[in-house]
C-alpha cells in the first residue's frame, strides 16, 4: 500500500478531541477513503472577508476583540478572517459546518475564544453583553448532520469550551457516576475508565461515533445503544453560566446545596426541575455535567436478523414494540435498511451504480447477495445482556417472535469475519466507542450528510407512514434513501441520513428541498423531529405550534428574561432574542440571505 498522502490523525495524547490509539488504524483508513474521493481543497479563502456581526462596525468589533484578548490572553482569541479550513471528522473546523447545506460563509464565526475556566466563560459573557456581540458555545463542535460547529448568526464568536476545559472531574466507582467538562469526548471517557482499571467494572454509553462531547451530545439529546442509550435521561446535575450581563453561575438539582454528595445521583433537587431549559436551547452555557455509568452486566451477546421485504417493516415493528417495552429487547437497537448495510462498507455509490437517481432496488439487492447479511430489505442489530442462562431466555423469546416474519433469518455471528460491520455494532452496544459508521459518507465524493429525524410510537402504521413519505420525497429529489430506526423504550427515532456532495450546489439544493418537504409532510401527519440541522431549526420549531405557538411564546419569555441583550446563540432551536425577533431572521427555505434585516440598535426587551 502506498504511504498515505495526508498527515496522521491526532490521538488523544496529542489533543483532547483526538482518536484513541486503538482506533488509529481505522481512522487513518477512513481518512484515506475520504481523501480518495475528495475534490474540495483543504483551505478556501474567504470571499466576503471577516464576518462582522450585525449591529456593530468592523472597527468597534476589532477593538472589542482586542479587549477580549487582554482579558483572556492573546493566544486564547483567534480572528477568523482569512480562510475556511474544511478538515474531516477527526480534524474538524470550529468556525463553521464542515457539511454545509447552504454556502459555508452563511453560518460562519468571526472569531474563536478558548476559555480556560468558568471564570473565563463569565468574563466572555460579560464582554459579549457589553459589546452586544453574539456568542456561540460549542463543546467539541462535531454534531455531524446537524450543523457541526457553526453558529446560526453569521459573525458570531465561537466559544470553544472544549479545547481548554476538558477534564474528567470525577469518576465515582461506588455510585457509578462521573462529572465532566465540555471537552470530554466519549472516546476520552472510555479511555480514562480503562486507564484507571475500571473498564471491566463499568461501561459508558457511546453514540455510533465516539468523537462527540459527552456534554454536547447529551444536551442535544443524542442517543447511544446500551440500555443507557437515552443520554439526557442518564445525566444528573448541570453547572451553567447564565447569559445575562451579570453572567451568574448556577448548579441544578442537588447542586443547589452548598456541599453534599448527592449531585450526581438525584437529578431533581427541590423546586422546578430547571435542567430541561438548558437542553436544545440558548438559555445558558453548561460548564459541568454529571452522568450515570452502567455496571458491567456480566455478559453480553449481539444478534442480527434479516428480513426479506420492505413491506416486512410494519409487522416487524409491531413485534418489536411489546418486546422492547417489557425489556426483552434491552438496548436501543437499530433496524437498518439494506442499502445502508451496503453503504457502510465505505465504497462510493458509483462502484455499484453509475446512473443518476436512486440506486435501483434490483441493483442493491444483487450487491447484498455476496455480503454477510445476504439479500434483504432490513437488518436488525440488537444485544442481550447478562449471564448466559439469563440471555438464553430472552434470546429464545426474540427468536420465536422475529421468525413470525416469513423469510426472517438469524445470522450466526460465528460465521462473520472480524471486520464485518456487525462487530462494530457489538462493540458500541457494549460501551466500546468505534469509528466504522463514518464510512458511509464515502457514498458520495466530498461526502457530507444531514439528518431527517422524526419520532413516533413503535407502531407498524407509524413506521410505514414515515418510511413512505421519506421514499416519495427521496424519489422526487433523486436521492438514495437510507433509513434506520433507533428503537427507544416506547418510541422510535427514524434517522434518514441524506449523503450529499458538499461541492455540488445542485445536490445541496435538492437535499434541502427533500428535507423541508419531509418535515412538512411529517408535521401534517402529526410527527415532529427530535433534533435538526441549524438551517432547518426555524421550520422544525414552527411545527411545534399547538395552541397558537404557545410553546415558542414561553421560550421567548424565558429567553428575554435570561438573556435580555440577546447575546447567546441567537436563533438556535428557532429561539430568537428580542433584538432579532420579527426582523426576518427565520429561515423557512428560499431566502436570499440568512441574516434578516439587522438587529435592534439597543437592548430592547419587548413585551410578549
Q: Say how far apart CA 506 and CA 356 lie, in whole Å.
A: 13
Q: Say how far apart CA 14 and CA 543 lie, in whole Å.
A: 44
Q: Say how far apart CA 102 and CA 91 lie, in whole Å.
A: 21
Q: State the CB neighbour count (10 A cutoff) for residue 424.
A: 20
- Region for 571 from its dihedrals, namely left if φ exceeds 0, alpha if ψ lies in -120 to 50, beta otherwise: left
Which residue lies nearest ligand EUG, judged by its C-beta? 223
**In sequence order, which residues have a C-beta less than 8 Å from that of residue 63 and are 6 or more positions away?**
none
Cβ–Cβ < 8 Å for 216, 196? no
Give CA separation, 321 vs 224, 326, 338, in Å: 19, 9, 21
Tell me if residue 509 falls in helix, strand or coil: helix
Cell of 364: 442493491
Q: Say how far apart CA 136 and CA 107 lie, in whole Å.
A: 11
Strand boundaries in 259-408, DSSP class E: 285-292, 294-295, 300-307, 333-337, 378-385
Binding site for ligand EUG (CB under 6 A): 145, 208, 223, 437, 451, 453, 484, 486, 493, 495, 497, 531
Smaller CB separation from ligand EUG, 495 or 535: 495
Cell of 599: 438587529
Give CA separation, 348 vs 31, 353, 360, in Å: 14, 9, 15
Burial label, 354 (beta-carbon count in 10 A; 0-12, 13-18, 19+): exposed
Catalytic residue numbers? 146, 530-531
**What one-character DSSP code corresponds to residue 85?**
E
- Smallest CA-to-CA distance from 12 within 2, 1, 20, 3 is with 20
Smaller CB separation from ligand EUG, 241 or 376: 376
Q: Say how far apart CA 542 and CA 575 lie, in whole Å.
A: 10
Cell 413503535, residue located: 458
The CA-based angle 359-360-364, given to 5 degrees, is 75
Kindly state the smallest distance separating residue 344's Cβ from ligand EUG, in Å. Answer: 8
Smaller CB separation from ligand EUG, 193 or 344: 344
Q: Say how far apart CA 561 and CA 358 lie, in whole Å.
A: 49
**In sequence order, which residues have a C-beta less than 8 Å from that of residue 66 and are 6 or more positions away?**
none
Q: What is the dihedral of CA 77, 79, 80, 86, to 10 degrees?
A: -40
Cβ–Cβ < 8 Å for 256, 273? no
Q: Say how far apart CA 281 and CA 175 lie, in whole Å.
A: 30
Smaller CB separation from ligand EUG, 497 or 560: 497
Q: State the CB neighbour count (10 A cutoff) for residue 329.
A: 26
Kindly state the smallest distance separating residue 488's Cβ from ligand EUG, in Å. Answer: 9
Amino acid at each position: 500500500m502506498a504511504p498515505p498522502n495526508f498527515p496522521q490523525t491526532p490521538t488523544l495524547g496529542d489533543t483532547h478531541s483526538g482518536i484513541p490509539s486503538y482506533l488509529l488504524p481505522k481512522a487513518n483508513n477512513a481518512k484515506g477513503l475520504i481523501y480518495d474521493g475528495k475534490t474540495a481543497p483543504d483551505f478556501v479563502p474567504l470571499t466576503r472577508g471577516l464576518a462582522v456581526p450585525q449591529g456593530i462596525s468592523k472597527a468597534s468589533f476589532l477593538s472589542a476583540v482586542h479587549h477580549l484578548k487582554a482579558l483572556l490572553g492573546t493566544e486564547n482569541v483567534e480572528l477568523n478572517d482569512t480562510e475556511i479550513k474544511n478538515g474531516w471528522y477527526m480534524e474538524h473546523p470550529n468556525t463553521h459546518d464542515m457539511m454545509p447545506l447552504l454556502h459555508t460563509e452563511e453560518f460562519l464565526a468571526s472569531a474563536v475564544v478558548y476559555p480556560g475556566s468558568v471564570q473565563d466563560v463569565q468574563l466572555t459573557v460579560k464582554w459579549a453583553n457589553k459589546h452586544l456581540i453574539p456568542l456561540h458555545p460549542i463543546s467539541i463542535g462535531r454534531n455531524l448532520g446537524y450543523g457541526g460547529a457553526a453558529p446560526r448568526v453569521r459573525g458570531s464568536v465561537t466559544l470553544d469550551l472544549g479545547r481548554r476545559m476538558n477534564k474528567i472531574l470525577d469518576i465515582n466507582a461506588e455510585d457509578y457516576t462521573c462529572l465532566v467538562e465540555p471537552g470530554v469526548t466519549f472516546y476520552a471517557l472510555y479511555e480514562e475508565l480503562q486507564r484507571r482499571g475500571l473498564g471491566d467494572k463499568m461501561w459508558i454509553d457511546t453514540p455510533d461515533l465516539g468523537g462527540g462531547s459527552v456534554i454536547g451530545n447529551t444536551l442535544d439529546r443524542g442517543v447511544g445503544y446500551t440500555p443507557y442509550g437515552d443520554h439526557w435521561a442518564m445525566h444528573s446535575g448541570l453547572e451553567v453560566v447564565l447569559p445575562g450581563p451579570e453572567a451568574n453561575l448556577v448548579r441544578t438539582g442537588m447542586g443547589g446545596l452548598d456541599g453534599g454528595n448527592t449531585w450526581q445521583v438525584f437529578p431533581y433537587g427541590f423546586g422546578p426541575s430547571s435542567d430541561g431549559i438548558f437542553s436544545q436551547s440558548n438559555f445558558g452555557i453548561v460548564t459541568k455535567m454529571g452522568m450515570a455509568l452502567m455496571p458491567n452486566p456480566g455478559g453480553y451477546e449481539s444478534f442480527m436478523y434479516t428480513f426479506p421485504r420492505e413491506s416486512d417493516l410494519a409487522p416487524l415493528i409491531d413485534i418489536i414494540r411489546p418486546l422492547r417495552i417489557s425489556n426483552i429487547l434491552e438496548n436501543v437497537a437499530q433496524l437498518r435498511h439494506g442499502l445502508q448495510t451496503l453503504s457502510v462498507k465505505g465504497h462510493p455509490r458509483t462502484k455499484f451504480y453509475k446512473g443518476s437517481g436512486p440506486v435501483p432496488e434490483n441493483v442493491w439487492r444483487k450487491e447484498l447477495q455476496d455480503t454477510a447479511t445476504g439479500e434483504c430489505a432490513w437488518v436488525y442489530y440488537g444485544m442481550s445482556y447478562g449471564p448466559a442462562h439469563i440471555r438464553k431466555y430472552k434470546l429464545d423469546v426474540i427468536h420465536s417472535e422475529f421468525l413470525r416474519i416469513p423469510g426472517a433469518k438469524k445470522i450466526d455471528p460465528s460465521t462473520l469475519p472480524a471486520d464485518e460491520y456487525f462487530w462494530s455494532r457489538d462493540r458500541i452496544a457494549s460501551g466500546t466507542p468505534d469509528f466504522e459508521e463514518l464510512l458511509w459518507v464515502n457514498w458520495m465524493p466530498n461526502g457530507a450528510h444531514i439528518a431527517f429525524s422524526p419520532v413516533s410510537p413503535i407502531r407498524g402504521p407509524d413506521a410505514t407512514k414515515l418510511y413512505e413519505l421519506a421514499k416519495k420525497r427521496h424519489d422526487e429529489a433523486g436521492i438514495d434513501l437510507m433509513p434506520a430506526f433507533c428503537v427507544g423504550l416506547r418510541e422510535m427515532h427514524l434517522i434518514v441520513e441524506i449523503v450529499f456532495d458538499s461541492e455540488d450546489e445542485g445536490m445541496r439544493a435538492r437535499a434541502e428541498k427533500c428535507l423541508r418537504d419531509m418535515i412538512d409532510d411529517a408535521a401534517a401527519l402529526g410527527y415532529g423531529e427530535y433534533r435538526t440541522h441549524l438551517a432547518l431549526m426555524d421550520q422544525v420549531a414552527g411545527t411545534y405550534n399547538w395552541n397558537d405557538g404557545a410553546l415558542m411564546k414561553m421560550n421567548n419569555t424565558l429567553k428575554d428574561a435570561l438573556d435580555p441583550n440577546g447575546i447567546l446563540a441567537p436563533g438556535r432551536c428557532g429561539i430568537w432574542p428580542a433584538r432579532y425577533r420579527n426582523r426576518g431572521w427565520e429561515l423557512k427555505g428560499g431566502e436570499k440571505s440568512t441574516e434578516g434585516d439587522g438587529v435592534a440598535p439597543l437592548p430592547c426587551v419587548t413585551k410578549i
